[in-house]
Structure 1
Amino acid sequence: MPAAVPSLHSLPRRLLPLAWGLAAVIGLILAFTWGALEVQVALAGFLNGESIWSKAQKQAVIDLRNYAASGNPADLAAYRRNYEILHIDQWTRDVVATGDYDRSAVGDALVKVNTMQAAVPGVIFMLDHFASAPYMKEALAAWRSTDRQVAELDVIAHQLEAAHARDGMDAASIARQQARIRALNDFIEPRAKTFSQEVAHGAVWMGRVLYSTIFGATCLATLLWLWMARRVLAGIRGTEERYRLLFDRAADAIVMVDEECGHILDANHKAVEWTGHGTQELIGTSFAALFERGKPRGEGITQGTLRERSGRGRPVETQSSLVRWGDRAVRQAIVRDISERLSLEQERRIAAEALASIAEGVIIADADRRVLSVNAAHAAITGLTLQDVQGRRFDETRRLADDSPLPASVWDTLDAGGNWLGEVHSQRADGSVYPELLSISVIRDADERVQHYVAVFTNISTTKANQRRLEHLATHDPLTGLANRAEFERQCAQAIAAADRDHGAVAVLFIDLDAFKVVNDSYSHAIGDRLLVHVAERITRGLGEHDVAGRIGGDEFTVMIGRLVSREQASALAQRLLAVLGEPMKVGDYEVALSASIGIAGYPLDGSDPVTLIANADAAMYAAKTQERNTYRLYSPIMQADARKRLALAAELRQALARGEFRLVFQPSVDMRNGKVVAVEALLRWRHPARGEVSPGEFIPMAEKLGLIRHVDDWVLQAVARQMRQWDEEGMPPIRVAVNISAASYGAPHFAEEVRRWLVAERVAPQRLLLEITEGAILRLGDEMERTMNALHALGVGVAIDDFGTGYSSMAYLKLPAIAFLKIDKSFVDGLPGSSHDAAIVEAMLALSKRLGLCAIAEGIETEAQHEFLLRAGCTEGQGYLYARALEVPEIERMLRPGQRPGSARLRLVPPTR
C-alpha cells in the first residue's frame, strides 16, 4: 500500500494542474464574460451616445432651419443646446485620442450629454485603447468626417443671428441659408448612419469573438483542437463578412472576372446599380460587353464608357489587378465614375481658355501678393512674361500718379471683404510707364483667410488721351485751338480777380474780320476755315505770357490782356493786331487780304465781369466797323445805343411772323435755249413798319442765332404751298418752285412730314417743290441728312445743292436719292468765259451732273457771253440779272400768264444792288 499512497496523493497533484487549468478556464471564462459585459456596456454606451448625438444633430438642423425662417430666439436657443451636445461629444472623442486627458473631466462631459453612467468607463476605455479596432476605426472615421459640416452649421447660426439682429432677412436670403443647412444635413446623415452601423457591426463581431472565446475556453480541457478549429472558423467567417461588407459598400463598382474566359464571377452593389442588371444577371456575363468603348484589357488603368441598361453611357476609369482564388486567376476590376472629374476638367479648361483670351491683363497671386500666374494679355500689355514676374509681388511695378506705392488702405479694403478699383501707373518691360485701371479682388478659404489675390488691369493710355482731347475740345475751339467762350470767360474771371487784388486793370479786345463772308462766298468755306486758322496764329503770335486769345463766333475773336495799369495800354496791342491782320495771307493757291475791326473794353471802368466786358467790347467793335473799319475803338457808354438797336431788331424779328411782315418775291429760272420760265426761286423779304426793308443778310443770321430759323422756314413752306395752289386755281403753268431751307430744319426729326402736311393741305404735287441746301450743311448734318433725304425722296420732293463747288471736297452726298439738281455758284460764273480756270471747273461740273443724271442750274448769269458759254457747255437752265431780278408776285404772274410769247421773259441786264 505504501506504494499506492503516493499514487493516491499524486492524483490530486496530477489533477491539480487540471484543476488549476479548470480554474484558469473558469477564470478566463469569467474574465471574458466580465469583459464581454463591459464591452457590451461600452458598446451600448456608444450606441446610446450615437443615438443622442444623432438626435441632437437632427434637432439642431431642424432648429437652425426654423430660426433661419422665423428669427425666433427660442429656436436659436434650442439649436445652441443641441449643438453643445455635438461639441462635447466631439471634444471627448478628440481629447481621449490625444492620450493626455483628465479622466474625471471626460467622464463628467459624457454624463453631461446623457451617456449612461455605467457605460462611461467602458466608453473611455474603448476610445483610449480600441480606437483602431475593427469597426471602431471605421465608425470613428465616419464620425470625424462630419466635423467640418457640424462646425459649418454653427457658422451659419452666427451669420443668421447677425442678419436677424440687423434688419431681418429677405425670402431669397432665407432660402439660400436653408439650402446650405439642408446640404450640410444631407452630408452628415449618411455618415451618422455609417457610424451607427459600424458600432452595431462591431458589437455583433465582438459578441461572436467573445462567445467563441468563452466556448473555446470551456471546451479547451476536453477538445483543444475543436476550440482552435472553432476560433479559426470564426476568424474566417469574420474576415469574409468584412470583405463582403467592404465589397458591397464600396463607392466604386468592383467586379471579379475570370481571367481565362473574361466572364464575371462576382459584382458588388455599385456595379449592379450602375449597369441596371442584377447580380445573378451579371454573373457569367462577359465583362467587356459592359463597355461601349475603352474596354479594359489586362492590368493597369483605362478610361471608357460603361453602358447602362437605359442606354445612357457613364464615363468611367477602370483599374485592374490579378489575384489568385485557389488555382484560378481572377482579375479584380475597380470601376470608378469620373463624370464629375471630367466635368471639372472641362470647366477648368474653359476657364483657362477664357482667361487666356480676354483682352484685360489678369494676375493671380498668393496671399503674400507674389505672382503665381498671368494670362496672355499681361505679356501683350506689359511685355513681361510669367517667367519675368513669377515670385515677385505684383504691386512692386505699380505706383500711384504721384509715384508713391499703393497705400495700406488698398489692402485694408480687401481685408475688410471689399474689392479695390483705381487708376495706377504701371511699368512695362522696357521701363516705360503707362496708366492702367486696376481692379483687385480676394479669394478666401473656408476660414475666411486670404488664399489668392486676383488683379485685373486695362491699359487706359488711349482712354486718357481721348479724355485729355475731349477736355481740350470742351474748352477750346476745334478749328483754331483757341479758347472757346466758356474757357475765355473763366480765364477772364481769374484775371479780373487778380486785378482786383492788385488794383490793376484787365482789357478785353473783340476782333471781327471785315467782309469775311465775301471770302467764304468767293473762295469756299474750306478756304475760309483755313484763313481763320491763319488769323488765330497771327493773333496769338503777338500775345504775352498772361494774355489769352479766344474764338467765340464764326469770324469773331477775343483777346484778354491782364496785369495792366489802365485799359488804354491795350491800344498798342490793338494797333499791332490790325497791322498783322492786314498783311496778305497765303491760303492754298489764293492770296487773301483782310482787315479787322477791334473793340476794347476794360476792367474796372467798362464792366466788372467777363460777360459785360465782352458785350461792351463787342459794342465798341461794332462802332469801329460801322464808322471806319480796319480800326479800333475804346468802349464808351454811347455805344450801347447801337447794341440796344440790334437787340431791338432781334425782339422785332420775333414779332415779325405774328404781324405778317414777311413776304415772298420770286426770281425766275429760265430755259437758256428759248428763254422760257421753267421755275422760280422763292426769296424771303422783311418789310419793317419803321425801318423799311431789312436785308436778309441782316435778319437771317439773327434768326439762326435766336433759334427762330425753323419757324421762318415753316412760314416760307406754308406760304409757297399756298401761292402754288393759288396759281393753280388761276390757271398758271404748273412750274417748279425752289425754296431755300436752313440746315436746322433739314436736321429736324419730322421735317419731311411737315413738308408733306403743307403739300397735302394745299393740294400741291410734291414733284413741283424743290428744296435747296448748301453742300456744307449736308456734310455738317451727317446721318440726319441721309435720313431726311430718304424721306423726301419717298415723298417725291426734289433737292438742289446750292452754291455747288464752294463747300467741302467730299461728294458722297451726291448719291443721296432725293438730290436732283446742282446749282453752279455765281463765283464760278463771274469769270466766264475769260477765266480758263472757271471755264474748266464749270465744264467739269456740267459733265459730272450729266453723268449722275442731275440737272444743272447756273446762278448769277449777267452777260450774254456767260449765257452763250454755258449754253454751249451743255447747261440748259439758268438764273441771273440777265433774265430777271427777284420780282413781286404780280410781276412774276405777268411773266407766267398763258399766251406769253416764248423768249419774252428775258429782261434787260440789271446791275446788282450794292
Structure 2
Amino acid sequence: MRLEASQQQLLSRRLRPLGYALVAVVGLILALTWVAVQTQVTLAGFLNGESLWSKAQKQAVIDLDEYATHGRPSDLASFRRNYAVLVADRSARDAIASGTFVHAEVEAAFARGGVIPEAIPGMVFIFQYFTGMPYVREAVAEWRSVDASLRELEVIADRLEQDYRPDASRPPEVSDERARIATLNNYIEPRAKAFSLNIANGASWLGRVLFFTVLGVAALASLLWLRMAQRILAGIRGTEERYSLLFDSAADAIFMVDQESGRILDANDRAAIWVGCPRSDLIGLQLSSLFAEGSPETGEGLLRTAGGGTRPVETQSSLVEWGKRQVSQAIVRDISDRVAMEQERKIAAEALASIAEGVIIADADRRVTTVNDAHTKLTGFPAQVMRRTRFDATRTLPDGRPLPQSLWDNIAAGDNWVGEVESRRADGTVYPELMSISTIRDREGRPQHYVAVVSDITVRKADRQRLQHLATHDPLTGLVTRSEFERRCAEAITHAAHERGAVAVLFVDLDAFKVVNDSYSHAIGDALLMRVAERIRAQIAPHDVAGRIGGDEFTVLLSDLRSREEALVVAEAMLAALARPIDLGDYELYVTASIGIAGYPLDGNDAVTLIANADAAMYVAKTEERNALRFYTPKMHADARRRLKLASELRQALLRNEFQLAYQPSIEMKSGRIVAVEALIRWRHPERGNVGPDEFIPIAESLGLIRQIDQWVLATACRQLMQWDEARLPPLRLAVNVSAGSFGHPDFLQGISQALESTGIPPKRLLVELTESAILRLGEDTQRAMQSLHKLGVAVAIDDFGTGYSSLAYLKLPAVEYLKIDRSFVTGLPGNPNDVAITEAMVAIARSLGLHTIAEGIETEAQHEFLLRAGCQEGQGFLYSRPLPPDEVARLLAPKTTGGKRLSLVPPKRA
C-alpha cells in the first residue's frame, strides 16, 4: 500500500510516452483518412466533370444538327453554351499541362465547366503532378484526341450562322453539313465513352490503393506502438523493487499523507527512527502534530524527536494520485548542519554588509577572496573581477610608490597598519583612500588571511582644503580675504625689516561700481568683479598678493621693494588695465579705479596701519579726480577723521532739526511767469555752517539715512506748499527730488499718499524728480512703480537725462510727463555745436512724446533765447533766481507789497 501512490506516479511518467505515441498513431490514421476523403472528393469531381463534359458534348452535337436543319437561333445559342463548357475544361487542362499557369484562372475555368468547387484544387493537383497515373493517362489521351473534332464543330456552327443570315446570297447546304456533323459525332462519341470508362476505372483503382495504404500504415503504427508498450512495461516492473528499496533505505524521512485529512498513510524507516516510534504507530496520525514549529506546508520547521527534543528539518511535498485519493508525498530532510552554518554565515554576511567602509579579505598571497558591496560601490570593480587579484595591485602610496615590503613585514609580525593610499577605480580614475590592514593567523601563527578596511577620503580632503581656502580666500574672486591679507602683509613687513627693504600696500576702489550694479544686475556686478580681479592679478608678480576686503575694494601687497615709490609703476599699469573696456558677453562695460598707496616704513609699521592709510589715500584720489592714484600723506587722515565725524553728526541732524529747504523757481520761458519751485535740501551745521548736499548726501546713502531724509523733504515741502496756498499765493507745482534708495523702497508710494492726504495738495501739483540711476536701480519693478504713481495722479520728471545709462524706453513709462535737460548740455549753448544738437534732439523727442521740457542751469540771455526758439517750455537757473528761503519765495509771488521792497526776478532783457 505504501508503494502504490509512488508506483502510480512513476507509472504515469513512464506511460506518458506510450500515450503520446498512441495519439500520434491515431493522428496519422486520421490524416491518411482525410487524404483519402479529399482524394475521393477529387475523383467525384472528375466523375462529375466527365459527366458534364459528356453531356455538353452530346448536347452540342444535337443542338448543332437542329440548327443545321431548321436554322433556329435558340439552337445555335444552346450549342454555344454547351461548347463553352467544353472549351473551359480544355483551356484549364492545357494551362496546367503548360507548367506555367495562374491557379485562380484555372480554378475559374473548371468552375465555368461545372466542376464541384471542393474538387477543383484536387483536380488541379492531379493534372499537375499525376497525369501519368494508371487510367488518368488513358483518360487524358482520349480527351485530347477529340480536340480537333470539337473545334471543327465550332467552325461548322460559324459557317451555318453565316449561311442563315437574312442577307445571305444562297441557301445553306444542309445535307452536307448534317452529314459532316454526324461523322464528327461518330468519331467523338466512342472516345467520350472511353474517357468516361477510364475515369471510373481510375477512381476505383485509386480507392483500392488508398484503402490498402491506410490499412498498412495503421497496422505498422500499431505494431510499433505495441513494441514500445512492451519495453516500457518491462522497465516499470524492474523499477518497482528498486523504488521500494530506496523508500525504506532513504536518508530522509518520507511520509505518505492523505491530502484531504492530513493523516499519515505510510512512512519509511527513517521517519520512524527520527520520531522514535514504530512505523505502524505513525499510521493515522496528523503529520502536522509531529512538528513543534512550522508545518509540512511551510518548508522549514522543527520535527519532534524521541526524548522531547526537536530536529530542524526541511519538507518538500509533491501531490500524487493514489487510486481516486489525492496523496501528498512529504520528504523531510534534516538540515541541522545547514542551519548552523547558515546562521554563522548570516551573521558574518550581515556584519560585512552593514559596514559602510569597503572590506577586502585576501589570502596569504594577498589575493582577494571576498569584498563587500561597499567596496564594489567605492571602486567599481565587481567581486568576481577582484577575486584572485592582489588587492594592493590597484593601490599605491600617495606619492605613487607601491606599498613597500617593510609594511607587509610589519603586518606579518603582528602589527596593524593604518595609512593613506591612492586607489584606482575601474574607470581608471584615482582617489585618496584611508586603509587599515590586519591579519588572521592559522594555528602556527602564520598569516592565513589579510583583512583590509578602506574608505574614500576624497570629500574629507576636499572639504578640508576647501575650508582652508574659504578661510583665507574670497569665494567670488579667489583673492585673499582681509585677515589673510593682513597676515601676509605682516610677514612681508617682518621680512622687509630684516632685509632693510620696503613694502607697499595698494588700496583699489572701483569708480561708479554702484551705478553698474543698479543699472544691470548683481550677477553682472559679480562678473565684473571677477574680471577686475583677473586684471589685478595679471599686473602683479607671482610673489605679490592681491586681496578683496569689501564689495568693490581690493588691496595689493607689493613686497621686496627698495622704496614705496617703486609701486608707482605697478599702480599706473593697473589703472590702465582696469580702464580698458570689459566684455561681459551681452554687455561691454567701462570702469575706472582710484588707487591709494601706503608703504613701510614711511607710512606705518604694521599691516592694519598700512591698509588704513592706503584707504585714506584712495579716498582722496576718488574725491579729487577719479581714475587716479595718490600716495598717502598725514593730512589725508585728518580729512578721513572729518568724514567719520560728519557721518556721526549726520545721524543727529534730523533729530536736531538742522536741515532746511530752499526753493528754486522754475519759470515759463515765453512769459517769464513762475510756475513751479524745486525743493532743495540744505544742512545748517551748528559748527561748520552750511554743508552742501554733494558732501553729505553720499554719506547719507552709505549710512542708509537717505530714505528718512527724503521723507522729511517730502513732508516739509508739502506743508510749505499748503502754507503758500493758505496765503492765497498763485498756485505752484512742487518738484521734489527722490533718491534711488527711496524710490525702490516698498513704503515709497505710501509716503507720498500720506503727504498729499495730510496737506490736501492735489496730486497733479506734485512732481517727483528721479535720476536715471534711480529708475534703473528699480529694475523689473520700474513699470509697476510708475504705474502706481500714474494711478495716484503724481507726475514724474526724469532728471539729468542723457548723463547716465538710460534707455529712451523710459520716456514711455506711465507717469513720466517731464524731461529735465541737464546743465552740462545747457552750459555750452549756443556756441557748442554738440550741445546744440543734443539739446535740440531732446526737445524734439520730448515734443513727439508729449513730454514737458525743463532746462537746468540757465545763466545767460543767449541760453534763454536759444532754448525758447528750440521749443523748451520751462527753465531754471541763476538767470532767473537762485534757490530762496520760503519767505522770499512768498514775497516774490505776492501780487502786491504792503511794505518794503518787493523781491523781483532777474528776467532777460527783451524788446
- TM bucket (normalised to shorter chain) is 0.3 to 0.5
Q: What TM-score does the superposition give when structure 1 sets the normalisation length?
A: 0.46
Q: What TM-score does the superposition give when structure 2 sets the normalisation length?
A: 0.46
Larger radius of gyration, structure 1 or 2? 2
